[in-house]
Amino acid sequence: MAGTIVVLGGGNTAFSVAAMLALDGLEVVLWEHPSQSRSIEPIMARREIRLTGVARTGTARLAAVTTDAAEALSAGDVLIAPVPSYAHAALIDAIGPHVGARHLLALTPGNLGTLAIAESLRRTRPGTELPLLVETDTAPYVCRKLGPDHAHVWGVVPAMGIGAYPASRTAEAIERLSPAFPGLSGHASVLETALNATNPIMHPVGVLMNAGRIERSQGEFQFYEEGVTPAVVRVIEAVDEERRAVGRALGLDLPDVATLYHRAGFGPRGDLWATINGSRMLTPLKAPGSLDTRWLTEDTPFALATWVELGQQLGVPMPVSASVVVLAGQVMGGRPHGGRSLADLGLSGLDAGAITARVA
């Protein structure tokens, strides 16, 4: 199956990516971790996903649907992993024995999962050449699974930013991923990619400041249109400015969050509130059905908390972001799914110059 794209995962984005690429005429294998096999069981026999929404529509037929990592990774060299950051460790444990230098592994998005996976492979397979590790700054689509074999896309991100590890292979990564995701642009490194992710800027603050309403209504309101009010935006923008200060300490000129949302195609150019409220992609989306949501359990311990630790290491004050991390921890009753520390990434104790050299 030369040229086959292997999609890893069984959630909203994995189903949408697999269906979209298959409808685009690419050969697609869908793999899910054996522990999560229930997510793909409904489509294993017929290997079909129904896709609706604003982009491709129709019934997509996949080349294979499997929980066998050896089978999946032998089918193709390009691996796309739209899985939560807290699943990266289980992902690499499952596919690690079968992944090699010929593979490209793309995390969509990554939250510095590339560095965590590199560290894991170095520990478990010392001396083995790493795959080309890639991460994006956002997911490729705004999408949801509406049924066991049905995915719906509200919007397609026209220009995802990507970073490669090592950074010298960014052009190669763009070339190999372009059949799946046209319009990719390269960041200087995976660190710049991760710091341009919008979810950790938006989601923890938005969920915390709407926590009572989420619990009471079980998510029965439009999160962006009703929940991201001007007051909520002011807190989001404070977190955003602290993120940009970390970037400046690393020699990076990071765009503000309103610009990032506009570039990703979420809404019109303007201040953040205007961009969100003018977004055809975002305003239809409901809030999470509970506070046990990836918008806290992933975006806080695996992204925002990592940024705060990085800021502390570089001497950058981040009082608002640190407060959000503490409050989110209390709401979650601890730090579920662990978290991503600088030690996990091989960056602990390094100054700005050493960090920049490490990710390059």
Residue 280 confidence (pLDDT) above 60: yes
Q: Which residues does 208 contact at the CB level (< 8 Å), separation at least 6?
A: 296, 324, 327, 328, 331
As a whole number of angstroms, the distance between CA 309 and CA 325 comes to: 11
The chain-wide mean pLDDT, for the chain, equals 94
Helix, strand or coil for residue 76? coil
Pick the CATH number of 5-194 from 3.40.50.720, 3.40.50.11270, 3.40.50.300, 3.40.190.10: 3.40.50.720
Residue 32 confidence (pLDDT) above 80: yes
Closest to 181 in 3D by CA, of 104, 112, 296: 104
pLDDT of residue 337: 57
Q: Which amino acid is at 263?
A: R
Pairwise pLDDT comparison (87 vs 270), residue with the higher score: 87
As a whole number of angstroms, the distance between CA 149 and CA 278 comes to: 31
Residue 269 confidence (pLDDT) above 90: no
| Pairing between β-strand 185-186 and β-strand 161-165 as defined by DSSP bridges | parallel
As a whole number of angstroms, the distance between CA 12 and CA 296 comes to: 17
Residue 54 confidence (pLDDT) above 50: yes
pLDDT of residue 317: 96
| 101-125 pLDDT per residue, tens | 999 999 999 999 999 999 999 999 8
Q: Which residues does 144 contact at the CB level (< 8 Å), separation at least 6?
A: 12, 151, 152, 154
Name the band, by pLDDT with cuts 50, 70 and 90, for residue 168.
very high
Q: Contacts from 314-319 at CB under 8 Å and sequence distance 24+?
A: 314/246, 314/249, 314/250, 314/351, 314/352, 315/249, 316/242, 316/245, 316/246, 316/249, 317/242, 317/245, 318/242, 318/245, 318/246, 319/242
The neighbour count for residue 24, using CB atoms within 10 Å, is 15
Residues forming CATH 1.10.1040.10 domain(s) in the chain = 198-359
As a whole number of angstroms, the distance between CA 119 and CA 142 comes to: 30
Closest to 17 in 3D by CA, of 84, 64, 80, 75: 80
Pairwise pLDDT comparison (2 vs 306), residue with the higher score: 306
Residues forming CATH 3.40.50.720 domain(s) in the chain = 5-194
pLDDT of residue 2: 43
Residue 318 confidence (pLDDT) above 60: yes
Closest to 26 in 3D by CA, of 71, 75, 73: 75
* Average pLDDT score over residue span 143-157: 94
| 220-236 pLDDT per residue, tens | 999 999 999 999 999 99
Architecture of domain 198-359: Orthogonal Bundle (1.10)
As a whole number of angstroms, the distance between CA 125 and CA 133 comes to: 16
Three-point CA angle 338, 321, 155, nearest 5°: 80
| 180-221 pLDDT per residue, tens | 999 899 999 999 999 999 999 999 999 999 999 999 999 999
As a whole number of angstroms, the distance between CA 78 and CA 175 comes to: 11
Name the band, by pLDDT with cuts 50, 70 and 90, for residue 1.
very low
Q: Which amino acid is at 203?
A: H
Residue 270 confidence (pLDDT) above 90: no
State the pTM of this model: 0.92
Name the band, by pLDDT with cuts 50, 70 and 90, for residue 67.
very high
